[in-house]
Chains A and B, each alone.
Chain A
Amino acid sequence: MDAVTIASIIAAATPLVYAALGETITEKAGIVNLSLDGTLLLSAMVAFATAQTTGSVLLGFAAAAGTSAIVAGIIAFSSIELKLNQIAVGFVLFLLAGDLSSLLGQSFVREPGPSVPPLNIAGLSDIPWFGKVFFSHNLSVYGSMVLIIVTYWYFYRTRAGLELQAVGERPEAAFARGIHVERLRYIYTFVGGAFVGIGGAAFSLDVKFGWSEGHVTNFGWIVLAIVIFGGWHPARAALGCYLFGALQVVALKLQPTFPSFTQVLGIMPFPVMIFMLVAINRPAFRSLGDRLGLFRRFLRAEAPGGLGTIFERG
């Protein structure tokens, strides 16, 4: 594949990378944010509206992150304080946030506005092939790459990462060791939610520029699937996003060849992605992980034991 195509795949996957890593962080702490599809819509709308009104792309990203973090925070609050079911609350928020984005976004539909400016990294972008693929994007894309590495490092190399995983795996065990289960669940739901919001902004201010009703609908669900099939492992989740990005780019390239199938090609990546994710989660694939020591964690990753549960103290 030529460098330009790969570069466009990386760019197309960027919002998904933010959202998938955000959701991975939240779920690792034991909270499911099912509102993703609505949250992405709402934060994309908020990002665009803010950037257009203030003229600042950066403020757009910040507003989106904040909005999405608040939605996620509602789930954390209702689970931790009110002991409500996370799935139910998440679903209601999905509906609510989606509707809210249509309602509040009406005056911004198909308006012009600022977008993330391209930024070639001096020196690196001139390297043949690599420069084109990795270093000729914009800050939003670079940020997502850094996020993959940092999340991986944070999960598996730091004390806080170990505590984060324990809180999601078995909150009682974490609590017995003096770890503030509730506090950490709040923090990581907020942080994860904020990254989901950045993902929304990366759509409306960059990859899928602008706003219209239902602008990024369905992407939230695919992200949730990627997180599950990505085995709650940041690198695997990111890989899932790039796979989906590739499917999107392929579908786009095929459109001129099959003009009458434009509609079908537009939605094709979604079912194809699900099939691929199911395929790589076959037990055979996983048992491979046991044999390859180094990649064991990567291949064997499984759901946090306490995912979606309510932690109750005696």
Chain B
Amino acid sequence: MLELLDIHKHYGSLRANDGVTIAVERGSIHGILGENGAGKSTLMKVLAGFITADSGEIRLDGESLPTGSTKRSLESGVGLLHQDPLHCMPFSVLDNFMLGRPESFILDHSTAQAELNRLSDEFGFSLDPDVPVRTLTIGERQQLEIVRLLSLGIRVLILDEPTTAISAEQRTSLFATLRTLAGQGMIVLFVSHKLEEVDEICDRVSVLRLGRLVGEAELPVPTERLVEMMFGEMIVQSPRVTAEPGEPVIDLESISLHDRLVTLDDISVKVHTAEVVGLAGLEGSGQQTLLRVAAGLLSPARGSVRIGGETLTGRGYRRHLDAGVHYLPADRLGEGLVEGLTVKEHFALAGIEPQGFLLDWERASSEATARIEEFSVKGTVDSTPESLSGGNQQRLLLAMMPEKISLLVMEHPTRGLDIESAELVWTRLLARRSDRTAILFASADLDELLRYSDRIVVFFAGRILAVLDATETDSEAIGYLIGGKERV
């Protein structure tokens, strides 16, 4: 049995964990639910020895675990998949896999590679051992971490939002694995704010809010009760809104391009003003590549990119930016935010209104204050991105969007956001339709695609399999298409 006893962790005056006590039985899958910034990641990092709690005790099978030492925690069999997986980016997949494993002094690459391949086959992951981790998607990096942790033979597996970037199919296989592992007596801690997932996979759930444990329940439990525990109130989802699409904003015609693992083959997509187009597909089926073409980060080998009637093929990111294209990457800390710079400095660098040569700190500061208020980022203008919770980093990125945008290109815009924040973010985004802003986004969340897009483009292996009207389809149909099959 795993026991967390009265864990306290403060950052200055902020109580990230405020006396949390949780007990988990051997062989069970235990959910940790909570809104963004509730303190879930903090608690898990304490458990894994990654950060030292101010006070409190951790016991595994009655024995007290040392805190603040990852080495001792790993030796005791506690392993954590971080919300933003920690990798040495220039190192190869295999090097990252071997790092920290009890390898022989002289590295035996072939044995480690065999182990890596065996485990990834088991879960249906495909990981190329020789490429640098830098070239992997976040989803693939999570897969690498899961495989690595399991190869360490751990007894307590902590997954901090492991499903935010993997496909439905991979999730099914991951869940199957988790059940098997639990069946073998492993303790699985599953951090999420997706209620359906927790409901599907967990035996019990603990709910955190503002650093405190606010409720526990045996599953299944009615969803409304969990929502109420998480947010302290009921969340009403606003009804679907639509707007009349107008002129094409971006016209991607017969785009062909080879990018890493996927080859785009003759892809044509148009997005009109005030229209929302969602891209569905397994991770790496080509939707991310197309988004990067639309943002001007990649130039197509063949085909043309027209924005607002002007041909911009191969003209680069800067030109796209000037044409009113705004891009939100999936890798928040890697591409979107600068570690070490404060929120205010982010606004000074890339705020709503472009700054002159001399920075106007006052304006940056007031801009930052207003925007983090509007997007309810839990933090101050002096917080650095790494001190924000995962979901709040995402909100910050969204808050930094300029006013005048003709096309918004987003990868996983609400990844890591709880339903309340996701709803808030989409309300803000859809409000931009009144300025005729067009939106092109990719998501792994079928419900999100269905709720907010007008049209859904389904990708499979670099091709477009179907273009669907969002009001005339359902998640089941898309689910099949994503796997390359028509509904049977």
Instruction: Decide if A313 is an interface residue (CB 8 Å cutoff).
Output: yes
Q: Would you give the 0/1 interface string for B34-71, flagging 1 where the beta carbon is closer than 8 Å to chain A?
A: 00000000000100101110000000000000001011
A-B contact count (CB 8 A): 77
Q: Is B52 in contact with A313, judged by CB distance below 8 angstroms?
A: yes
Q: Would you give the 0/1 interface string for A101-145, flagging 1 where the beta carbon is closer than 8 Å to chain B?
A: 000000000000000000000000000000000000000000000
**Once the chains are docked, how many angstroms separate the CA of A158 from the CA of B68?**
27
Task: State the main secondary structure of chain B at its contact with A.
Answer: loop
If A158-B105, A176-B100, A177-B74 are given as contacts, then 8 extra A-B residue pairs at C-beta distance below 8 Å, sorted by A number, are A160-B105, A165-B91, A170-B86, A178-B72, A178-B74, A305-B89, A313-B51, A314-B50
Find the residue from B50, B80, B86, B103 having the highest chain A CB count within 10 A. Answer: B86
**Once the chains are docked, how many angstroms separate the CA of A187 from the CA of B50?**
22
A-B contact pairs, 25 of them (CB 8 A): A157-B107, A159-B104, A162-B98, A162-B107, A165-B91, A166-B91, A169-B89, A169-B90, A170-B88, A173-B86, A173-B99, A174-B99, A175-B50, A176-B48, A176-B82, A177-B99, A178-B72, A178-B75, A179-B99, A305-B90, A313-B50, A313-B51, A313-B52, A314-B50, A314-B51
Instruction: Decide if B140 is an interface residue (CB 8 Å cutoff).
Output: no
Instruction: Decide if B106 is an interface residue (CB 8 Å cutoff).
Output: yes
Q: Is A170 in contact with B99, judged by CB distance below 8 angstroms?
A: no
Residues on the A chain within 8 Å of B100, using CB? 163, 166, 174, 176-179
Contacts A169-B90, A170-B88, A314-B50 given; indicate if A175 touches B70 (C-beta within 8 A). yes
**Option from A157, A162, A166, A176 in Cβ contact (under 8 Å) with B70:** A176
Contacts A169-B88, A178-B75, A305-B89 given; indicate if A158 touches B99 (C-beta within 8 A). no
**Chain B residues near A (Cβ < 8 Å):** 45, 48, 50-52, 68, 70-75, 80, 82, 86-91, 95-96, 98-100, 103-107
Residues on the B chain within 8 Å of A178, using CB? 70-75, 100
Q: Is A173 in contact with B70, judged by CB distance below 8 angstroms?
A: no
Q: Which 7 A-B pairs have the closest CB atoms?
A: A177-B100, A314-B51, A178-B71, A173-B86, A178-B74, A169-B88, A159-B103
Residues on the A chain within 8 Å of B75, using CB? 178
Q: What size tier do the contact residues of chain A reach?
A: 20 to 34
Q: Is B87 in contact with A173, judged by CB distance below 8 angstroms?
A: yes
Residues on the A chain within 8 Å of B72, using CB? 178
Question: Nearest-CB distance from B48 to chain A (Å)?
Answer: 8
**Option from A157, A173, A179, A313 in Cβ contact (under 8 Å) with B106:** A157
| A181, closest chain B residue (CB) | B70
**Once the chains are docked, how many angstroms separate the CA of A241 from the CA of B8?**
54
**Once the chains are docked, how many angstroms separate the CA of A314 from the CA of B384?**
14
Q: Is B95 in contact with A162, judged by CB distance below 8 angstroms?
A: yes
Instruction: Decide if A180 is an interface residue (CB 8 Å cutoff).
Output: yes
Residues on the A chain within 8 Å of B82, using CB? 176
Question: Nearest-CB distance from A80 to chain B (Å)?
Answer: 16
Q: Is A314 in contact with B52, judged by CB distance below 8 angstroms?
A: yes
Question: Nearest-CB distance from A164 to chain B (Å)?
Answer: 11
**Once the chains are docked, how many angstroms separate the CA of A264 from the CA of B72?**
60
Interface residues in A170-202 (C-beta closer than 8 Å to B): 170, 172-180
Residues on the B chain within 8 Å of A159, using CB? 98, 103-107
